[in-house]
Amino acid sequence: MIRVMIVEDDPATGALLRQLVRRIWPGATVTLDADPLLALDRWRTQGADLILLDWELPGMSGLEILKTIRRLGAKTSCVMITSHSDREQILAARAFHVDAYIVKPFDAKQIMERLSRIVDVDMASDVSCESFESLDDFIESRLKQDLPGLPIAPELVERIVGIRAMEAPERIRLLRECQFEPGLLFRMLSLANSSRYIDGMDVVETFEGAIRKIGLDAFINLAVEVSLHPGSHIEHASLAHKCFELRRRAMSLVGILVKLREHLEFNLDSCRTACILHSMAELSLLQLMQTWVDAGHAIDETTRDAVFDRYTERAREPLQAQWTIPNTLRERIDALDRLPAGTVVRKEPIIMRIVALLHAGDPQRELPRLMARFGLSGRIDAISTGSAS
pLDDT of residue 26: 80
Alpha-carbon 307 to chain mean position:
22
pLDDT of residue 72: 84
Q: Walk along the chain (389 residues) and give the pLDDT tens digit of each residue.
A: 789 999 998 888 888 898 889 888 887 889 999 999 999 999 999 889 999 999 888 888 888 888 888 888 778 889 988 877 666 767 776 777 888 888 877 778 888 888 888 876 444 444 333 578 899 999 998 888 766 789 999 999 999 999 999 999 999 999 999 999 999 999 999 889 987 787 766 899 999 999 999 999 889 989 998 998 899 999 999 999 999 999 999 999 999 999 999 999 999 999 999 999 999 999 999 999 999 999 999 999 999 999 999 999 989 877 776 667 888 999 999 999 999 876 677 899 999 999 999 998 876 788 988 998 888 877 777 776 544 43
**pLDDT of 110-120, one tens digit each?**
888 888 888 76
Q: What does each C-alpha distance from 282 to 245, 329, 342 come to in angstroms?
A: 11, 18, 28
The answer regarding whether domain 3-124 maps to CATH 3.40.50.2300 reads yes
pLDDT of residue 351: 95
Element (H, E) at 378: none
Alpha-carbon dihedral 149, 153, 154, 160, rounded to 10 degrees:
-100
Cα 121 to Cα 248: distance, rounded to the nearest angstrom: 46
pLDDT of residue 219: 94
Cα 148 to Cα 281: distance, rounded to the nearest angstrom: 9
Q: Which of 231, 94, 58, 224 is nearest to 150 (CA)?
A: 231
Alpha-carbon 234 to chain mean position:
16
Instruction: Give φ, ψ of 82 to 5 degrees.
Output: -150, 160
Q: Please answer whether residues 25 and 17 qualify as being in contact, where contact means their C-beta atoms are separated by less than 8 angstroms.
A: no
Bond into 151 cis (ω within 30): no
Which sequence spans correspond to the domains of the chain?
A: 3-124, 151-228, 234-313+328-389
Instruction: Give φ, ψ of 116 to 5 degrees.
Output: -60, -35
pLDDT of residue 120: 62
Q: Which residues contact 325 (CB under 8 A, 6 or more apart)?
A: 186, 189, 190, 193, 277
Q: At 279, is the secondary structure helix, strand, or coil?
A: coil
Q: Which residues contact 172 (CB under 8 A, 6 or more apart)?
A: none
pLDDT of residue 85: 65
